[in-house]
């Protein structure tokens, strides 16, 4: 009979049981706790939204968080001062910078510009307090392995979107010679990696980024098959190329990295714009029945999304290469079948916001979420606001429209579902209160200010 499959290590952590035997152990443990970074008390934040106000004006899209996080981690590979421009001002970015400072990096930050020097970096175990709220900290594995041949860190946390195990990272690293010494409470990888061929077990964005950053310092060529091709992955590839590491196949599912064998050249890099924020703002214009211009959007990043919006009756046009005019006033929404997929397919991170506009579309729309089983929870909140929804299973649902939405108090279950609730509030009659806004503010740079600049009646409250 086949041996039972070992349970995959997820990102949820079971605390270790510790026993202090003598007073000296108690003193040492207390001292270590005093030195460890302390988590600040959580402030409860909510948005209070008065709906039915058409948005008008111009809004500029910020840099991509999903690109900025691995790029900041990539500074570990570089000598001297690495400068990043167009870095979004988000909680997740601040957390990543705190982790780098914990490891010994010198950081100067001014608005959207971040300068990082990692010349005196130390390979220290990264504590649970630092990574528990940042799933993106997983991208530190690759550069730390490349530089120190060993990494220890607690399992990263973040939004709960179903099971997202680290097996893809561990299996991929193993193909280059890295040993897995992890426990239930700690990720521990060790070994001197060798350039070679890696076949990813799935189209994992962060595993692809980790492999790119590891391979950058390995002498010889590393071939990555089944690589993710999202815009933020492409941005990491472009950064490596500018730092002296040739990367072939950018934008495809096969990447070739010709590693240097030594630290990279310090460089200056502008983070690509956030196509997920662009899509969200486009939907805000449609949902509110307003007319807005979205600046800084990349056409090639939005092709499949805009095609779905066109099929649903949304009206838009490109004024310039990076300016998109959204005409929600003259949009006549109709039902569509929407299926998420890996890039360049419809982004899973825009599925929930798109679901909101489908409540205002005529007919029966079907949503098929193929990537995560936890992405349908926002539909229950839309039902409370008056939407007509039938959830078929954890991956499929029907939305019957159009139905008027009414203001309610609704939670933000994760970053993207939280923005969906904001959209629902913009088109609902009366007042909507969106709670747990800390999730939303991990993914959208100054969202409240941008919506206010477009005329939205939205107030941010700290409780």
Which CATH number does the domain housing residue 263 bear?
A: 3.65.10.10
Q: Do 183 and 97 share a structural domain?
A: yes
Contact of 213 with 143, CB cutoff 8 Å:
yes
Candidates 159, 186, 237, 427; catalytic one: 159
C-alpha 438/C-alpha 44 separation (Å) is: 8
Contact of 286 with 357, CB cutoff 8 Å:
yes
Each of the 463 residues of the chain gets a pLDDT tens digit; together they read 444 434 344 333 333 333 333 344 443 443 344 344 444 556 789 999 999 999 999 999 999 999 999 999 999 999 999 999 999 999 899 999 999 999 999 999 999 999 999 999 999 999 999 998 898 999 999 999 999 999 999 998 744 434 447 889 999 999 999 999 998 888 999 999 999 999 999 999 999 999 999 999 999 999 999 999 999 999 999 999 999 999 999 999 999 999 988 999 989 999 999 999 999 999 999 999 999 999 999 999 999 999 999 999 999 999 877 899 999 999 999 999 999 999 999 999 999 999 999 999 999 999 999 988 888 999 999 999 999 999 999 999 999 999 999 999 999 988 999 999 999 999 999 999 999 898 898 889 999 999 999 999 999 999 8
| Position 453 in a domain | yes
The DSSP code for 261 is S
Element (H, E) at 386: none
Give 317's strand partners: 325
Domain boundary among 270, 287, 304: 270
| Position 377 in a domain | yes
Q: Do 216 and 104 share a structural domain?
A: yes
Contact of 435 with 441, CB cutoff 8 Å:
no
Host domain of residue 419: 45-62+273-462
| Position 94 in a domain | yes
Is 159 considered catalytic here? Answer: yes
Q: Do 54 and 203 share a structural domain?
A: no
Burial 95-116 (b: 16+ CB within 10 A, else e): bbbebbebbebeeeeeebebbb
| Position 7 in a domain | no
Q: Do 363 and 446 share a structural domain?
A: yes
Give me the helices (H) in 134-175, please: 141-148, 167-174
Q: Do 281 and 234 share a structural domain?
A: no
Q: Do 394 and 314 share a structural domain?
A: yes
This prediction has a pTM of 0.88
The DSSP code for 401 is E
> Is the dihedral angle over the CA atoms 103, 210, 201, 165 positive or is it negative?
positive
C-alpha 70/C-alpha 99 separation (Å) is: 13
CA distances (Å), origin 431, targets 112, 234, 354, 434: 33, 41, 21, 10
Q: Do 115 and 186 share a structural domain?
A: yes
Report the alpha-carbon angle 130-133-139, nearest 5.
75
Q: Do 335 and 291 share a structural domain?
A: yes
Q: Do 237 and 88 share a structural domain?
A: yes
At a CB cut-off of 8 Å and minimum separation 6, what does 302 contact?
275, 278, 279, 282
Structural domains of the chain, count: 2
Q: Do 310 and 264 share a structural domain?
A: no
Q: Tell me, what's the pLDDT at 41?
A: 54
Domain boundary among 270, 293, 327: 270
Helix-then-strand count for the chain, H and E: 14, 23
Domain boundary among 248, 270, 292: 270
Q: Do 262 and 328 share a structural domain?
A: no
| Position 80 in a domain | yes
| Position 33 in a domain | no
Q: Do 56 and 135 share a structural domain?
A: no
């Amino acid at each position: 009979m086949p041996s039972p499959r070992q349970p995959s290590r997820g990102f949820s952590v079971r605390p270790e049981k510790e026993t202090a035997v003598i007073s000296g152990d108690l003193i040492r443990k207390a001292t270590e706790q005093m030195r460890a970074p302390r988590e600040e008390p959580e402030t409860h934040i909510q948005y209070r939204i008065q709906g039915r106000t058409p948005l008008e004006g111009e809004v500029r899209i910020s840099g991509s968080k999903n690109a900025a996080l691995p790029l900041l981690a990539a500074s570990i590979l570089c000598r001297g001062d690495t400068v990043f421009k167009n870095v979004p001002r988000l909680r997740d970015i601040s957390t990543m910078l705190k982790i780098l400072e914990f490891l010994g990096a010198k950081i100067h930050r001014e608005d959207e510009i971040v300068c990082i020097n990692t010349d005196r970096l130390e390979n220290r175990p990264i504590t649970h307090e630092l990574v528990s709220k940042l799933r993106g900290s997983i991208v530190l594995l690759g550069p730390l392995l490349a530089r120190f041949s060993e990494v220890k860190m607690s399992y990263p946390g973040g939004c709960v979107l179903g099971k997202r195990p680290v097996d893809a990272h561990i299996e991929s690293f193993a193909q280059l010679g890295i040993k897995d010494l992890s426990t239930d409470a700690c990720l521990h990888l060790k070994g001197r990696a060798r350039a070679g061929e890696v076949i990813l077990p799935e189209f994992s964005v962060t595993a692809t980024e980790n492999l790119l950053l590891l391979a950058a310092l390995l002498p010889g060529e590393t071939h990555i098959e089944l690589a993710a091709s999202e815009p933020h992955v492409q941005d990491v590839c472009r950064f490596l190329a500018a730092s002296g590491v040739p990367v072939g196949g950018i934008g495809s599912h096969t990447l070739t990295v010709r590693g240097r064998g030594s630290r990279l050249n310090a460089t200056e890099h502008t983070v690509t714009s956030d196509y997920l924020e662009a899509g969200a703002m486009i939907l805000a214009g449609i949902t509110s029945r307003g007319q807005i211009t979205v600046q800084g959007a990349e056409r090639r990043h939005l092709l499949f999304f805009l095609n779905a919006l066109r099929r649903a009756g949304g009206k838009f046009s490109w004024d310039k290469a990076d300016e998109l005019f959204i005409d929600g006033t003259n949009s006549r929404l109709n039902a569509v079948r929407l299926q998420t997929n890996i890039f360049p397919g419809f982004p899973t991170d825009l599925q929930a916001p798109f679901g909101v506009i489908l409540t205002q579309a005529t007919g029966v729309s079907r949503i098929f979420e193929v990537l995560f089983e936890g992405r349908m929870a926002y539909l229950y909140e839309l039902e409370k606001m008056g939407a007509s929804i039938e959830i078929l299973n954890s991956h499929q649902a029907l939305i019957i429209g159009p139905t008027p939405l009414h203001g309610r108090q609704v939670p933000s279950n994760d970053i993207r579902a939280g923005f969906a609730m904001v959209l629902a509030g913009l088109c609902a009659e009366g007042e909507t209160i969106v709670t747990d806004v800390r999730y939303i503010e991990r993914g959208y740079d100054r969202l409240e200010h941008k919506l206010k600049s477009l005329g939205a009646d939205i107030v941010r409250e700290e409780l």
